[in-house]
Structure 1
């Protein structure tokens, strides 16, 4: 008999297909927020930057803009952003950008709630710590994503400890943004490589849900529809970059694909390897899935192949292996699929494998991963 536990998200709402500025104003008023601080990256700041335009549109409601978040959400940026929010007496954080900005802003909330003022103080608040779970929420966040990473839909965040060159997790039921605004018009200027690579990250979310050895009806249903939407939407935006309906299709697809994972089932070996490739080796967010997922699927062949057949069919490639279907999609989008293409060689495989074993994602792989040698075999398939 099927049994399990489904945990509902504490996120209040997702607003889609409406102008972000209009929605942010409405939500700020509804929440009685009067001092909004925008968090973003340098690429969205500047005279013609997207974040700069939203700041101007918010007028006096926006009290400042923090644009020092870098790739993979370094601890230093988290603490600096929290310090700026404290200085500005912000009562709402507005994250505009991709997964790095959104994850960093999630942990800025935690730093504000706990009164943290130095990067090393985050040590006591990693995922699973009693201190983190005991925190009483204060300042919350609202997310306006410009990529397809889907960080905005979970109460988990990955932040990089640059001193150790390692990505670490943080969690709290209310780290997830209070609301998410999906405005496809704000994604038009997202660089194509970033749009499509994070789209492959969203595909990875769906695939690892569908291939997870634990079945959950909610996550399976959402991942199935999400993957279909992503396959169609990514192809359409590749052919017609200005198609807002296709961009919204991608956004809805990534939302559905992540929703099951956010409910507690977790992700798998592709994400586990990706965390190490990103946090330690600097492989850009999204490209980690392009190189890791096909190899993981190949290594898993022979275990629950009916799930992999489902994945291939949803990607419009019935009869092909899931590995080939995923790799083919990435190639059609102009993305790398080999470790050598992202600057990672065999000399790093053993270290990557040993670090990957510490990630909980390896425990959700359909074919059991029991040693670093198993991970090295996967990496060899991706070389």
Structure 2
């Protein structure tokens, strides 16, 4: 993968499977892998009937959902399709999905789409457990974006007041994941590329996230390199399935499944994005396009020596010369991220999404946790700069 000349190996070899203990029973990857992988995962999990959970656009405007439905029907395991999942997983859709899940006698969820269907499926299974006193049942995730929600134990959703909240349990992590690049071809370009920046956000913030072991940080370096390389290639040639498959693997590497006791934002960029997204209907990927580069720039001023070293190390892997100082190298990394966002045509502003300037102080407090946080003023300046 990363660091290899693509002319030196056959991209069609990007096929395979990976398994882990506890909740995650298998990750299958490769173009066309859904056809066989879905049946294999059902057999491992002992599922009998699946509710397919997806979004309205994917259901109405593409044939992706129909393809997965056909596979489930051929297995005699189709329990219906629920496609009322909106952006940021509103609670109303989750309640309706849970109702259909129970009425149809389903014992497994197959989520197809981006982060919202995957998170909504986790929430459906969580509330099925909490409200009805049954075990947390399994999910199989078939992502069509690069948001990487399928690798976490938590689910973010929007409550009745329009606030982004979350539920968390180690058993909510999908039991099976299928990375089939062929099913991503219908994903709109802006969604595909912006969720690639979301994956970059995961990889970069994991370099300074507590409790992430060094081997996984080195995996994040590989993800960073591949995202910088293959996102522009995917923009230039959207139908290149091999490039899309490499990006799906980079997304996986950006947020490699790790056993944590509680789901939380990876870092400040994610925290800011969570506060912006649901409140102002800004897509997950776009929030990362807005916040990641300025947050990395802030890290050059406020991060610990160790965190700066990890961030600066990305330049070596990106084959960029050091500036001669840790702070300068971290600033350079932020500039490279900013340039990537610009070159992918993903530049946006808070004014485009009608975020009132009078809300910025409250957004800052909610992002950093308290008004007396030492970075409060600097984070406010970041929000102000995004206009």
**Measured at CA, do residues 8 and 357 of structure 1 come closer, stay the same or move farther in structure 2, by a change above 3 Å?**
farther
Q: What does 1:201-220 align with in structure 2 at a 5 Å threshold?
A: 201-212=198-209, 216-220=213-217
1:88 Cα deviation (Å)?
A: 0.3
**Measured at CA, do residues 346 and 255 of structure 1 come closer, stay the same or move farther in structure 2, by a change above 3 Å?**
same
| 1:347 equivalent among 349, 358, 361 | 358
Secondary structure of 1:286's counterpart equals helix
**Measured at CA, do residues 12 and 36 of structure 1 come closer, stay the same or move farther in structure 2, by a change above 3 Å?**
same
| 2:384 equivalent among 377, 380, 383 | 380
Q: Aligned equivalents of 2:319 and 2:183: distance in 1? A: 28
1:369 Cα deviation (Å)?
A: 4.6
Check if 1:247 corresponds to 2:244. yes
Alignment root-mean-square deviation, CA: 2.6
Q: What does 1:325-340 align with in structure 2 at a 5 Å threshold?
A: 325-340=336-351
TM-score, with length taken from structure 1: 0.84
| Structure 2 match to 1:55 | 69
Check if 1:11 corresponds to 2:28. no
1:214 Cα deviation (Å)?
A: 6.1
1:371 Cα deviation (Å)?
A: 5.7
After TM superposition, the structure 1 stretch with the greater mean CA deviation from structure 2, 278-287 or 267-276, is 278-287
| Structure 2 match to 1:127 | none
| 1:99 equivalent among 112, 115, 125 | 115
TM-score, with length taken from structure 2: 0.83
1:308 Cα deviation (Å)?
A: 3.2
Q: Aligned equivalents of 2:310 and 2:21: distance in 1? A: 25
| Structure 1 match to 2:34 | 20
1:309 Cα deviation (Å)?
A: 2.5
1:174 Cα deviation (Å)?
A: 0.7
Unaligned runs of 5+ residues in structure 2 are 1-19, 323-328
Check if 1:311 corresponds to 2:314. yes
Q: What does 1:26-175 align with in structure 2 at a 5 Å threshold?
A: 26-46=40-60, 48-59=62-73, 60-115=76-131, 137-161=135-159, 163-175=160-172
Secondary structure of 1:66's counterpart equals strand
**Measured at CA, do residues 251 and 47 of structure 1 come closer, stay the same or move farther in structure 2, by a change above 3 Å?**
closer
Say whether the 8 Å CA contact 1:208–1:267 is kept in structure 2: yes
1:21 Cα deviation (Å)?
A: 2.8
1:64 Cα deviation (Å)?
A: 0.3
After TM superposition, the structure 1 stretch with the greater mean CA deviation from structure 2, 22-31 or 300-309, is 300-309
After TM superposition, the structure 1 stretch with the greater mean CA deviation from structure 2, 341-350 or 187-196, is 341-350
| Structure 2 match to 1:356 | 367
| Structure 1 match to 2:11 | none
**Measured at CA, do residues 67 and 289 of structure 1 come closer, stay the same or move farther in structure 2, by a change above 3 Å?**
same
1:36 Cα deviation (Å)?
A: 1.3
Say whether the 8 Å CA contact 2:65–2:112 is kept in structure 1: yes
1:188-230: per-residue Cα shift (whole Å, max 9, x none)? 1100000000000000000011134666213212211221222
**Measured at CA, do residues 274 and 69 of structure 1 come closer, stay the same or move farther in structure 2, by a change above 3 Å?**
same
Q: Aligned equivalents of 1:166 and 1:174: distance in 2? A: 24
Number of aligned residue pairs: give it: 351
Q: What does 1:261-340 align with in structure 2 at a 5 Å threshold?
A: 263=260, 267-302=266-301, 303=303, 304=305, 305-315=308-318, 317-319=320-322, 321-340=332-351
Unaligned runs of 5+ residues in structure 1 are 1-6, 117-134, 363-367
**Measured at CA, do residues 335 and 48 of structure 1 come closer, stay the same or move farther in structure 2, by a change above 3 Å?**
closer
